[in-house]
């Protein structure tokens, strides 16, 4: 029971760290891009990953964690896939309206459920599916304002959905099947993610903004916000791998929509963004969906733990009965042998 309690505390800590760091970096990046006019999102993400890798390398040198070797081909393809998914998400935002981009993010949950059901044979109860549907409806009401479609944007959104879902499923699967921690996997894959975004980032940003990141005039305030964003990103990247490893890709996406609701609330409170009754209703519906999802997941987890304990108790009883039978047979054999000896 102590191990289960420690695991649950670890999950809660990972969820809290993910929410706090993600909301912080969104607010920081919004100030950097909207208020200070730094629009190079993909290049900034490559810097995030480079700082994350350097931080983990220092932590490794100081023996905060042990590096576990992973097959180079596996970690390279995994890192490149995650880097490509970030690029597709940024391109999707650039070629689509904000509303269609939000639809793209909403589609990640049902697509992940479908992939895990088909390829990993994972079962999702009707209660879990209902809570996820309620969550998606709420976030959709709160965040989707327009739906302008175009062919290129739709293709990019589909590619973003596929690569993001597969990348997050692999994040969970690799950690469990290869018995590596979130820190070890992030440390091994971050250089490949950073490399592919560092090479493609300036080109993608120029396509989306018609501006050159190398020609940008960096003021001290912009540099300070970039450094702050990179430092927060270490916590964001670490908590992302941690949450997916300890829970599941679907739970991580649910958490992501909680962050969306919090960002909308903080945007209204701190940055005085426009806020309507529709936003409020959507957020309340989404929170209800998240609450139900959390409740149903907890109930199913307790049921599984109870079944495991019951199975363990039955197995212990069967083992005890078997040992008792062996002991009785041994005693009977000794009595018979003793009787034979006395007759002789």
Round the average pLDDT of the chain to a whole number and report it: 85
Task: Give the C-alpha separation, 85 to 311, whole Å.
Answer: 42
pLDDT higher than 70, residue 40 = yes
| Residue 140 and residue 282 in contact, taking contact as beta carbons nearer than 8 Å | yes
Give the sign of the dihedral formed by CA 57, CA 58, CA 61, CA 65: negative
Does residue 18 form part of some domain?
A: no
User: What confidence tier does 234 reach under pLDDT thresholds 50, 70, 90?
Assistant: very high
CA distance 272 to 267: 6
Report the pLDDT value the prediction gives residue 343, as an integer from 0 to 100: 40
Any domain includes 97: yes
* Residue 298 resides in a domain: yes
Of the chain, the percentage scoring pLDDT greater than 70 comes to 85
| pLDDT given at position 260 | 81
Question: What length does the chain have?
Answer: 344
Q: How far is Cα 169 from Cα 253, in angstroms, rounded to an integer? A: 11
pLDDT for residue 342: 46
pLDDT level of residue 34 (50, 70, 90 thresholds)? confident
User: Running DSSP on this structure, what letter comes out for residue 211?
Assistant: -
pLDDT of 316 strictly over 60: no
Question: Are 172 and 62 contacting, i.e. CB atoms less than 8 angstroms apart?
Answer: no
Q: pTM value?
A: 0.82
**Is 227 within the bounds of a domain?**
no
Q: How far is CA 267 from the centre of its chain?
A: 23
Q: Say whether pLDDT at 238 is over 70.
A: yes
Determine contact, residues 96/157, Cβ cutoff 8 Å: yes
CA distance 139 to 275: 14
Number of domains in the chain: 1
DSSP 213-266: TTT----HHHHHHHHHHHHHHHHHHHHHHHHHHHS-HHHHHHHHHHHHHHHHHH
Residue 340: its pLDDT value, please? Answer: 46
- Confirm if 136 and 289 have CB atoms less than 8 A apart: yes
CA angle at 215 for the pair 212 and 221, rounded to the nearest 5°:
105
Within a domain: 313: no
Instruction: With respect to residue 314, please indicate whether it lies within any of the assigned structural domains.
Output: no
The model's confidence at residue 39, banded by pLDDT at 50, 70 and 90, is: very high
The token pair at 123 is 């079962």
pLDDT at 69: 87
Which range among 25-34, 82-91, 267-276 shows the weakest confidence by mean pLDDT? Answer: 267-276
Q: Which residue has the higher pLDDT, 96 or 234?
A: 234
Q: Which of 65, 52, 94, 60 is nearest to 193 (CA)?
A: 52
Distance CA 101, CA 83 (A): 18
Q: What would the pLDDT profile of 2-19 be if each residue is shown by its tens digit?
A: 555 666 777 888 888 988
pLDDT for the residue 159: 95
Q: How far apart are CA 103 and CA 88, in angstroms?
A: 15
Instruction: Tell me whether residue 343 is in a domain.
Output: no
pLDDT at 320 over 70: no
Q: Which of 66-75, 122-131, 192-201, 270-279 shows the lowest per-residue confidence on average (mean pLDDT)?
A: 270-279
Percent of the chain with pLDDT over 90: 54
The dihedral built from the CA positions of residue 129, 134, 137 and 139, taken in this order, carries a sign that is negative
Domain of 287 in residue numbering reads as 56-216+248-306
Is 279 part of a structural domain of the chain?
yes
The pLDDT score that the predictor gives to residue 118 is 94
**Does the pLDDT at position 99 exceed 90?**
no
């Amino acid at each position: 029971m102590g191990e289960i309690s420690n695991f649950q505390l670890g999950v809660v800590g990972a969820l809290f760290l993910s929410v706090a760091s993600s909301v912080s970096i969104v607010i920081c990046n919004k100030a950097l891009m909207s208020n200070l006019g730094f629009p190079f999102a993909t290049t900034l993400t490559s810097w995030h990953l480079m700082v994350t890798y350097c931080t983990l390398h220092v932590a490794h040198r100081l023996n905060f964690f042990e590096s576990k070797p992973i097959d180079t081909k596996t970690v390279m393809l995994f890192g490149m896939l995650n880097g490509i998914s970030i690029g597709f998400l940024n391109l999707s935002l650039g070629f689509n309206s904000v509303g269609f981009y939000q639809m793209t993010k909403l589609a990640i949950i049902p697509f992940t459920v479908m992939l895990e059901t088909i390829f990993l044979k994972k079962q999702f109860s009707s209660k879990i599916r209902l809570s996820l549907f309620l969550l998606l409806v709420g976030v959709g009401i709160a965040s989707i304002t327009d739906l302008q479609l175009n062919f290129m944007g739709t293709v990019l959104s589909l590619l973003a959905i596929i690569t993001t879902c597969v990348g997050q499923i692999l994040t969970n699967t690799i950690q469990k099947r290869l018995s590596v921690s979130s820190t070890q996997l992030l440390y091994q894959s971050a250089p490949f993610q950073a490399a592919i975004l560092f090479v493609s980032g300036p080109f993608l940003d120029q396509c989306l903004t018609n501006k050159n990141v190398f020609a940008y005039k960096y003021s001290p305030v912009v540099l300070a916000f970039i450094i702050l964003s990179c430092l927060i990103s270490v916590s964001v990247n670490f908590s992302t791998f941690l949450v997916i490893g300890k829970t599941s890709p679907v739970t991580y996406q649910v958490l992501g929509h909680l962050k969306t609701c919090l960002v909308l609330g903080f945007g209204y409170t701190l940055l005085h963004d426009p806020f309507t009754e529709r936003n409020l209703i959507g957020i309340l519906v989404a929170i209800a969906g998240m609450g139900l999802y959390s409740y149903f997941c907890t109930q199913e987890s307790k049921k599984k733990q109870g079944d495991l304990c019951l199975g363990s108790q039955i197995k212990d009883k069967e083992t005890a009965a078997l040992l008792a039978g062996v002991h009785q047979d041994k005693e009977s054999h000794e009595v018979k042998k003793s009787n034979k000896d006395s007759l002789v």
